[in-house]
Amino acid sequence: MNYRSLAFLACSSLLFSCGNESPPAAESSTETVIEAEENTPVPSSESEEINGSEDAAPGDTLFVEIEANDQMKYSTDRIDAYIGQVVSLTLKNVGEMPKEAMGHNWTLLRKGADFQDYASKAMLAKEDDFLPADLMGEVVAHTALLGPGESETITFEVPEEAGPYKFLCTFPGHFGTMQGLFFVRQ
């Protein structure tokens, strides 16, 4: 009873912190979140939708669908994956604004990459569709920059190092609200 309430409170604040600028939660905290979710119904909203499954096994393909909209939001800010999985990720731009004003991509950075540094350099790289050629070593996987109504599916292997990775949209001004956690498990 009391323990559950506490767990739920902890869970709620962690979920909120995932969507903000704070550093990714440590693995132990993340496990707390998942345990709490199993016991306690968590109010779901578009931004808290979680992709990935506890039942997934290495060798599986993990299908992920993410929408990006004119409000500069992804439909998910958290993806859970296992080492050995292949990710088939579809990004769909469901907005209506022109690509030049509201383009979106999905870019996964390597573990330990400097998120702020990459994001601030990427927004200047207009000639590279905001994916700077000299910083591709920081990128695990990415979609193209998509205009309204466009979608793209990319396939990549889950990185072989467990832990938190960050993803973002590199279109100028978007990474503040278009970012999330890609969590890799053993």
Residues 6+ apart with CB under 8 A from 85: 56, 58, 59, 60, 61, 62, 157, 158
Question: Given the complex with Cu ion, which of 2 and 71 has the nearer CB atom?
Answer: 71
Do residues 165 and 18 make contact, with C-beta atoms less than 8 angstroms apart?
no
CB of 142 to Cu ion, least distance (A): 12
Tell me how far, at minimum, the Cβ of 145 lies from Cu ion, in Å: 8
Q: Which residue minimizes CB distance to Cu ion?
A: 169
Query: CB 180 → Cu ion: shortest distance, Å?
Result: 12
Query: How far apart (Å, rounded) are the C-alpha atoms in residues 115 and 20?
Result: 13
- Would you say 82 or 130 has its CB closer to Cu ion? 130
Choose between 112 and 176: whose C-beta lies nearer to Cu ion. Answer: 176
Q: Closest separation between CB of residue 178 and Cu ion, Å?
A: 5
| Interaction site with Cu ion (CB under 5 A) | 104, 169, 171, 174, 178
CA dihedral 15, 152, 114, 32 (to 10 degrees): 20
Nearest to 179 by CA among 123, 92, 122, 105: 105
d(Cα 122, Cα 128) in Å, to the nearest integer? 9
Token pair 């931004």 is found at 47
- CB of 79 or CB of 178, closer to Cu ion: 178
Shortest separation between residue 109's beta carbon and Cu ion, angstroms: 15
Of residues 78 and 104, the one with the C-beta less far from Cu ion = 104
Per DSSP, the residues of 52-99 read S-TT--TT-EEEEEEEE-TTS-BS-SEEEEETT-EEEEEEEE---S-H
